[in-house]
Amino acid sequence: MPADLNDYFNKKRGSGGGDDNGGESKGSKVNFKTPDFKGFGKISAFAYVIIALVAVIALTQPFVTINSGEVGIKSNLGKYDPSPMQPGLHFFIPFLQKVIVVDTRVRLINYTSGEDMGEAAQKYGAQAQAGIIRKNSISVLDARNLPVSIDITVQYRLNPENAPQTIASWGLSWENKIVDPVVRDVVRSIAGKYTAEELPTKRNDLATAIDEGIRKDIDAQPNKPVELLTVQLREIILPEKVKEQIERVQIAKQEAERTKYEVERANQEALKKAALAEGTAKAAIIEAQGRADAAKIEADAQAYANKEVAKSLDQNLLNLKQIETQAKFNEALRENSDAKIFLTPGGAVPNIWVDTKDKAKQSAIEREN
């Protein structure tokens, strides 16, 4: 260390010791005298300047780091800069400027009567866990003034482009002034149009109307401060009396459906039996028709055969039959010379009746075909 610097510190030590022993100075008064730089070099003076700057920076911290999913809002003597500060390292002037860091990641308001927040966080992902706000279910009066509770979840985020204007207009509690009132008003207005019994059956229509209503009112805010992501209708909590009534109606509907099923089943069985009977009757008719057709065919064949036989009776055949008949006459007369012979019509060949004297014997000679 240079000799002049040693002399300086020795003088400082001596003056301090005099204060402690002699009591000339009371308390711990420190004498900040500018050191004599005559003996110092330019390098030593520069070192003191650097140390002073580091001390000032350490005490005032005139910089801020903005992470991803955040924006910075710079305030100049209370007036917000309209341009948001993007993620990165930014410097500002202490005491004259201030930087407010706001979160622009997805946030969530969970209106619930009993759902655990851990389940909600798991459902919507780790990204939204830090921005989950739990509120009580929304109480609604239905069309008959019966109390109904609605559980709903709304996902949204601060519009980063207009964040300075939003914070300037609504403050840091902007979501309680923008999102929450709109959600409650829309849910009460739409759900109040239905009766408690209709709400479960109109669930899809109700969810669609609530989503559209909230989205319309949020987008109508000046400077579009919020980006609405999703609206989910989770549960409709009805009064106990209404629940019991709905359960009874559901049971009656189930019984009616079961009865309808049994009737349809009986009708199907009856139709099946009728079809079988009709098939049997048709089969019998077809069988009888077949027999009739067969008989007709047989009769037609017989008639055709007789007709063909009649055609075959020519004069020579008739003469032969006459000779055969005359032979039978002669034979009959040989046996009974006194017999009476009667000729009766019999077609081509007459019938021959022989009447004996004692009337004990009669013979008939039938014609031969």
Of 328, 340, 330, the C-alpha closest to 368 is 328
Which of residues 172, 204, 238 is at a domain's end?
Answer: 238
Instruction: Indicate if 322 and 306 belong to the same structural domain.
Output: no
- Looking at the domain assignment, is residue 44 inside a domain? no
- Looking at the domain assignment, is residue 122 inside a domain? yes
Of 75, 70, 67, 73, the C-alpha closest to 94 is 75
Instruction: Indicate if 231 and 336 belong to the same structural domain.
Output: no
- Looking at the domain assignment, is residue 88 inside a domain? no
CATH of the domain at 133: 3.30.479.30
Q: Strands 107-112 and 132-136, how do they pair?
A: parallel
Contact 233, 206 (CB under 8 A): yes
Domain hosting residue 154, numbered range: 107-238
Express each pLDDT in 88-124 by its tens digit: 888 887 878 888 899 999 999 999 986 544 455 455 4
- Classify each residue of 113-141 as buried b or exposed e, where b means 16 or more C-beta atoms within 10 Å of its C-beta: eebeeeebbeebeeebeebbeeeebbebe
pLDDT of amino acid 187: 96
- Looking at the domain assignment, is residue 90 inside a domain? no
pLDDT of amino acid 366: 45
Which residues have a Cβ under 8 Å from the Cβ of 93 and sit 6 or more positions away? 62
* pLDDT beneath 50: ranges in the chain: 1-3, 16-30, 32, 37, 40, 116-118, 121, 124-128, 347-348, 356-369
> How far is CA 216 from its chain centroid?
25
Report the predicted TM-score, pTM, of the whole model to 2 decimal places: 0.52
pLDDT of amino acid 287: 81
pLDDT of amino acid 229: 94
Instruction: Indicate if 307 and 278 belong to the same structural domain.
Output: yes
pLDDT of amino acid 7: 58
Of 152, 290, 148, 285, the C-alpha closest to 213 is 152
Handedness of CA 21, 26, 28, 29 (dihedral sign): negative
Number of domains in the chain: 3
pLDDT of amino acid 1: 44
3-state helix/strand/coil string of 103-138: ECCCEEEEEECCCCHHHHHHHHCHHHHHHEEEEECE
> How far is CA 46 from its chain centroid?
74
- Looking at the domain assignment, is residue 73 inside a domain? no
Instruction: Indicate if 172 and 255 belong to the same structural domain.
Output: no
Express each pLDDT in 7-59 by its tens digit: 555 555 555 444 444 444 444 444 545 555 455 455 677 777 777 766 766 67
- Looking at the domain assignment, is residue 333 inside a domain? yes
- The single-letter DSSP state of residue 93 is -
Residue 99 region, left (φ>0) first, then alpha (ψ -120 to 50), else beta? beta
- Looking at the domain assignment, is residue 171 inside a domain? yes
Instruction: Indicate if 267 and 361 belong to the same structural domain.
Output: no
- Largest CA-CA distance found in the chain, in angstroms, rounded: 209
Instruction: Indicate if 167 and 273 belong to the same structural domain.
Output: no
pLDDT of amino acid 98: 87
pLDDT of amino acid 4: 52
Q: Quick one: tokens of 160?
A: 């980063």
Q: Quick one: tokens of 363?
A: 């013979």
- Looking at the domain assignment, is residue 160 inside a domain? yes
Q: Quick one: tokens of 189?
A: 């207005």
pLDDT of amino acid 50: 78
